[in-house]
């Protein structure tokens, strides 16, 4: 079990150490705008989706032996992409689209190692649930998020002031090699621990037990649940990017201001998946309305104390993400479907990133995405409450109707402000 803990924690730490590192490296090349960081975040969300999709694919399609063997091969291939910093030939000339150039550059140089790191959380949780039956793997998700948070907090205060970018990249590369050894050892132990059980399996097939579980889960998994997960994850991700843009428009684009919204986003994941009592609707429903109205006041009054604005935006982001991730945690499936669940959550994250980073600049002439995403969060909170109320009683209660009226008033105020 200790190997699983170390591998998941190190993968998460490396995953979010490389994000500010590569963002800091690319910032001078593309003019130092907030769009550089949001384009990087979009890439990371898409790569996260590819890693989660890979984990879901091999855990659902391959036998236990072939999962381990295949992943050992992928780990070996990923080492070929080290070191990952691009040379000066990749510097933009000014004629290409900055977002597209950043996405292509990151895909070629860091795409494979990042996708491998992304896959480790759900994949090792799946192996853990098969190896240690009766233990919940979702606590490993908390450990993964704790590693992410530690990486984010340590970068602006310890790593960036002390080390050059080249030294950071070198240390990260050696850390990745250590991770490959740890994860490879986990894969080998997983292979050995299940080898006797699979002597009668045809090569390349999924075990009977796993196939039965998947079939049962497929019949019980509703399309409405999948859409619900997708929308909640997309809204939380879009709120993260919209808030980052909003904050960085007012102040300099520095790693500390990149990391603050992302750290809040991760903290909400840690809290919501740690225990049910962290997210209470009775607390966060009124908090959502209050924080939304506070944002309306800040935007309409032109209140110019910058740190007060950042505090309001940060608090609103926390409440919105707690609402989205709390509802995700309330509706999470059984352990057998966790790789599918994480893949849908990652797909929602990528969808939110594409909406804010790529779609919004083409659709809107002005900066409307923050207002609309905040309104969408409020609407989703209504849907969540209504969904449970109708499922329990078949009709909306009087208290629910008053909540709806308050929330609709908040939404109207948000849409009308600018």
Question: What residues have CB less than 8 Å from 1, skipping those under 6 apart?
Answer: 128, 132
Length of the chain: 418
Distance CA 84, CA 91 (A): 15
> Considering the domain 1-219, what is its CATH architecture?
Up-down Bundle (1.20)
pLDDT at 80: 92
DSSP 55-122: HHHHHHHS-HHHHHHHHHHHHHHHGGG-S----GGGS--SSS-HHHHHHHHHHHHHHHHHHHHHHHHH
Q: Residue 255's pLDDT is what?
A: 57
Which residue do the tokens 């910093």 mark? 85
Cα separation, 13 vs 16, in Å, equals 6
From CA 61, how far away is CA 207, in angstroms rounded? 9
Domain regions of the chain by residue span: 1-219, 222-332+364-418
Encoded tokens for 70: 């295949």
Question: Of 92, 96, 112, 87, which Cα lies nearest the Cα of 18?
Answer: 112
pLDDT values of the chain reduced to their tens digit, one per residue, 418 residues: 677 888 888 998 998 888 888 888 888 888 766 677 778 888 888 888 899 889 888 888 888 888 989 999 999 999 999 888 888 888 887 766 778 888 899 999 999 999 999 998 888 888 887 777 666 666 676 677 778 878 878 888 888 888 998 899 999 999 999 999 999 998 888 888 754 444 334 444 444 334 333 333 444 567 778 888 999 999 999 999 888 888 776 555 565 677 788 889 988 988 888 778 889 888 888 888 888 888 888 777 766 677 778 888 899 999 999 999 999 988 887 766 777 888 888 899 889 888 888 887 777 777 778 888 888 888 888 787 777 665 555 555 556 656 665 665 666 556 555 5
């Amino acid at each position: 079990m200790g190997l699983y803990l170390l591998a998941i924690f190190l993968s998460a730490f490396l995953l979010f150490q490389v994000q500010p590192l590569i963002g800091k490296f690319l910032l001078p090349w593309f003019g130092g705008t907030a769009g550089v960081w949001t384009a990087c975040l979009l890439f990371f969300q898409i790569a996260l989706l590819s890693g989660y999709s890979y984990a879901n694919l091999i855990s659902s399609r391959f036998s236990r032996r072939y999962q381990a063997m295949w992943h050992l091969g992928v780990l070996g291939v990923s080492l070929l992409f080290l070191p990952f910093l691009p040379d000066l030939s990749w510097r933009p000339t000014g004629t290409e689209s900055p977002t597209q150039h950043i996405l292509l550059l990151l895909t070629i140089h860091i795409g494979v190692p990042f996708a491998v790191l992304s896959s480790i959380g759900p994949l090792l949780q799946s192996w853990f649930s098969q190896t240690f039956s009766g233990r919940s793997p979702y606590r490993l998700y908390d450990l993964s998020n704790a590693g992410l948070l530690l990486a984010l907090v340590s970068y602006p205060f310890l790593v960036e002031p002390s080390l050059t970018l080249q030294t950071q990249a070198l240390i990260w590369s050696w850390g990745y090699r250590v991770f490959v050894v740890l994860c490879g050892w986990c894969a080998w132990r997983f292979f050995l621990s299940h080898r006797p059980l699979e002597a009668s399996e045809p090569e390349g097939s999924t075990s009977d037990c796993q196939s039965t579980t998947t079939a049962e889960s497929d019949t019980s998994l509703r399309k409405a649940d999948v859409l619900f997960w997708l929308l909640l994850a997309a809204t939380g991700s879009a709120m993260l990017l919209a808030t980052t843009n909003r904050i960085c428009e007012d102040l300099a684009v520095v790693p500390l201001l990149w990391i603050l919204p992302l750290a809040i986003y991760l903290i909400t994941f840690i809290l919501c998946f740690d225990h049910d009592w962290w997210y209470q609707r009775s607390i966060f429903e009124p908090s959502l309305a209050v924080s939304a109205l506070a944002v309306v006041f800040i935007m309409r009054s032109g209140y110019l104390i910058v740190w007060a604005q950042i505090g309001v935006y940060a608090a609103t982001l926390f409440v919105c993400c707690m609402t989205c991730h709390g509802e995700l945690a309330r509706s999470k499936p059984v352990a057998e479907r966790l790789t599918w669940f994480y893949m849908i959550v990652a797909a929602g994250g990528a969808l939110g990133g594409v909406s804010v980073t790529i779609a919004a600049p083409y659709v809107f002439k002005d900066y409307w995405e923050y207002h609309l995403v905040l309104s969408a969060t409020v609407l989703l909170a209504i849907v969540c409450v209504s969904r449970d109320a109708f499922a329990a009683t078949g009709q909306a209660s009087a208290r629910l109707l008053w909540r709806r009226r308050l929330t609709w008033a908040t939404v109207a105020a948000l849409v009308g402000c600018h």
